[in-house]
Every structure is written in structure tokens, then in C-alpha cells.
């Protein structure tokens, strides 16, 4: 089975079958990743470019390593968002990269919908590595992979996501994806950081973390940006940590087999206390490993799709 579209822009657009295919492919990729010789020829002769308009260490590195483990040529373009405002448009940049032979462009951008704009204007495959507050599909896929690996299933898994839901593309992608796979989602966070009408997505909302965490199989913390305090969305980081920070006491309310997740990087002592982060139930480091496997799977599936397409003509 191949992916339906040439791009992976969000979990909203992916079908259950496609998600299954990606997760299953990632399982194979993880075997490669855990071998002594991390080298496969899956992407030989392919060119992968990461185009990052936001700072990122782990996501960019994860894509870069995924490309290299599979034998692709990988290059990175970093553009600060201010140079975008002044200079070349996104479409022009994308076409330039494509003209140099890129098969896949991986884009991270501070504005929602930027990956859609790029995808519409290039023939290369586009992977959204996070666009504004919209989606971060590879993060959600690696989260889903991790949950499935740990708990053996996604159906009926109770997932509680805590934090700044409004600005979180990770939350949106996880809501779309996990719900498609049958999980139940509860959101908790300050009401000023809860987007309007999000309950229409089929999620439960709590303003009280204790209530949200009760009986949860998965507790996922989100990064809180310090700017939110300056914007006045929360009175202080201190109060946030007090009301919404996940500590051992709150975790005790969850299911005994709970797993603790965070997309990273973590603000220790703010969204999660150190004892929770370093607790054995925490999958934060495994998420990172699985992230490489997921990205290997996506790159493989997208480039394979292009080969299939090519052979048809």
C-alpha cells in the first residue's frame, strides 16, 4: 500500500489505513535503527532537504539522520522568519530547492498552513515538520507509535494532554490521529490557553489536572513557552507550575500502567517535575528513538510512492 497523497501535511488528512501502514513500516525501520550497522539502501539516490524557518534541534536532526541511515543525500536550509518577511517568498524558496533536485522537502514554519502552501506549489513531496499552531504530524505519529509499542494498542487508550493546547500543533495532530485510531482524549490546561470550540473535535476538557489525569493510560505534557506569560495569557509561570505542572502526586491518580510522554524539550519543574521526567514510566527518550523510525518510514513511503507513480508512465 502506498500513501494517497504526495505529501504528509497532517493527521487530519491521513486515513486509518495510512496511519497503520506508517506505524507498521516504522516497526521495520526501528529494527534497522537498533542494529549495529545502521545503513539501508532504501533512499539511495534520493535527495531530502529540510527547510526550517524555526529553530529546532531534535526534529531536524531526526530527519537528517533518518535520511542518512537510508542512504539519501540530505541537506538543511535554515531561514529565520525575519528573512522571510524581508526577502524571498516561501514559494520561491521551495521552487529553488526543488530545482536542485529535492525529492522530499521537510518544512518547519511558524505559520499555520505554510506546509500546505508549499505543497501546492512544488511537485516534490512535502513533509510538515510543524506549521504554526496547526499540525506536527511526525510528532503525533511517533507518539502513537510509542503508545502502541508500550500498551500494545491504541483503541480505547485514555490519553490526557496537559498544557498550552491553544498554541500546540502537537496536541492538534495527536487529537486527529489518536481519535482516528480509537483512543479517548482528555485535555487540561489554563482556560486562556484552551482554543474555542475544541470540544467539537470530540475531546473532553478539564480545567483541573487531577480530574483529567484520573485513570489515564497516557499522560502527555506539552511545552509551555515563557512568552505566554509576557503575552498575559497566564499570570505567571509559577502559578502554571503549581496548577498544571505534572508531579508524582498527580501521576498516582492515573492508571497503574500509565506512561508519561513529552514532545520535548522539557522545562523541568514547570510542565513536569524532574522525578516524573526521570521516572521509569517516562518514555521521553524512547519517543526520540521512535521519531527517527517514523521519519524513516515516511521518507521511504513517500519516495516509494514516487517510484510507483513514475513507473506508471
Partner 1 sequence: MICIKGGNIIDGISNEPYRGDILIEKNKVMKIGRSLDINFPNSVVIDAAGLYVLPGLIDMHCHLREPGHEYKEDIASGTRSAAAGGFTSIACMANTNPPIDNGGMVNFIKTRAKENGVVKVYPIATVTKGMKGKTITEIGELYKAGAVALSDDGRPVEDSNVLKLAIQYSKMFNMPIINHCEDLNLVNDGVMNEGYMSTILGLKGINRAAEEIGIARDIIMAKHYGASIHIAHVSTMGGVELIRQAKREGIPITCETAPHYFSATDEWVDGYDANTKVNPPLRTADDVEAIKEGLRDGTIDAIATDHAPHHRDEKNIEYNIAAFGISGLETAFSLGYTNLVEKGILSLSGLVQKMSSTPANILGIEGGKLGEGSAADITIVDLNSEYIIDTRKFYSKGKNNPFHGKKVKGKILYTIVDGSIVYAHSKIYEGSIDGRVDLLDR
Q: Can 59 be counted among the known catalytic residues?
A: yes
Task: Please say whether the beta carbons of 234 and 228 come within 8 A.
Answer: yes
For 220, the 3-state DSSP assignment is: strand
Site for partner 1 in 192-251 (CB under 8 A): 195-198, 200-201
Q: Residue 300 corresponds to which cell in the numbers above? A: 521511504
Task: Please say whether the beta carbons of 47 and 73 come within 8 A.
Answer: yes
The H or E element containing residue 75 is strand 73-78
For 28, the 3-state DSSP assignment is: helix
Site for partner 1 in 65-94 (CB under 8 A): 85, 89-91
Count interface residues toward partner 1 (CB under 8 A): 25
Q: Can 108 be counted among the known catalytic residues?
A: yes
5 binds partner 1 (CB under 8 A): no
Catalytic residue selected from 40, 50, 59, 273: 59
At its nearest, how many Å lie between partner 1 and the CB of residue 44?
34
The full length of the chain comes to: 313
At its nearest, how many Å lie between partner 1 and the CB of residue 133?
3
Write the binding mask 176 to 195 for partner 1: x where contact by CB under 8 A, - elsewhere: -------------------x
Q: Can 305 be counted among the known catalytic residues?
A: no
The H or E element containing residue 299 is helix 284-312
102 binds partner 1 (CB under 8 A): no
Strand ranges in 102-208 using DSSP code E only, listed in sequence order: 104-109, 125-131, 158-162, 184-188, 204-206
Tell me which residues touch partner 1 (CB under 8 A).
Answer: 12, 85, 89-91, 109, 111-114, 116-117, 131-135, 169, 172, 195-198, 200-201
Residues annotated as part of the active site:
58-59, 86, 108, 136
Amino acid at each position: 500500500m502506498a500513501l494517497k497523497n504526495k505529501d504528509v501535511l497532517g493527521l487530519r488528512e491521513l486515513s486509518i489505513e495510512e496511519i497503520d501502514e506508517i506505524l507498521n513500516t516504522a516497526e521495520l525501520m526501528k529494527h534497522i535503527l537498533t542494529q549495529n550497522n545502521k545503513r539501508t539502501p532504501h533512499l539511495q539516490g534520493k535527495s531530502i532537504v529540510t527547510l526550517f524557518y524555526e529553530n529546532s534541534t531534535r526534529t531536524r536532526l531526526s530527519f537528517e539522520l533518518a535520511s542518512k541511515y537510508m542512504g539519501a543525500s540530505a541537506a538543511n536550509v535554515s531561514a529565520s522568519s525575519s528573512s522571510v518577511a524581508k526577502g524571498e517568498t516561501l514559494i520561491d524558496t521551495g521552487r529553488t530547492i526543488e530545482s536542485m533536485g529535492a525529492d522530499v522537502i521537510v518544512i518547519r514554519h511558524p505559520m499555520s498552513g505554510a506546509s500546505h502552501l508549499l505543497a501546492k506549489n512544488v511537485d516534490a513531496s512535502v513533509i510538515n515538520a510543524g506549521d504554526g499552531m496547526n499540525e506536527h504530524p511526525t510528532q503525533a505519529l511517533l507518539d502513537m507509535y510509542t503508545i502502541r509499542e508500550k500498551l500494545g494498542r491504541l483503541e480505547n487508550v485514555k490519553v490526557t494532554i496537559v498544557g498550552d493546547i491553544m498554541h500546540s500543533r502537537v496536541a492538534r495532530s495527536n487529537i486527529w490521529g489518536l481519535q482516528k485510531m480509537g483512543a479517548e482524549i482528555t485535555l487540561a490546561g489554563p482556560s486562556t490557553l484552551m482554543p474555542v470550540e475544541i470540544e467539537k473535535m470530540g475531546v473532553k476538557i478539564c480545567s483541573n489536572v487531577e480530574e483529567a489525569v484520573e485513570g489515564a493510560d497516557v499522560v502527555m505534557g506539552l511545552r509551555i513557552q515563557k512568552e505566554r506569560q509576557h503575552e498575559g495569557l497566564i499570570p505567571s509561570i509559577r502559578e502554571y507550575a503549581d496548577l498544571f505542572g505534572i508531579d508524582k502526586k498527580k501521576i498516582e491518580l492515573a492508571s497503574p500502567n500509565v506512561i508519561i510522554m513529552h514532545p520535548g524539550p522539557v522545562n523541568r519543574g514547570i510542565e513536569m517535575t524532574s522525578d516524573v521526567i526521570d521516572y521509569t514510566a517516562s518514555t521521553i527518550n524512547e519517543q526520540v528513538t521512535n521519531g527517527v523510525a517514523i521519519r524513516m518510514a515516511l521518507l521511504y513511503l513517500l519516495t516509494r510512492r514516487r517510484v510507483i507513480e513514475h513507473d506508471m508512465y
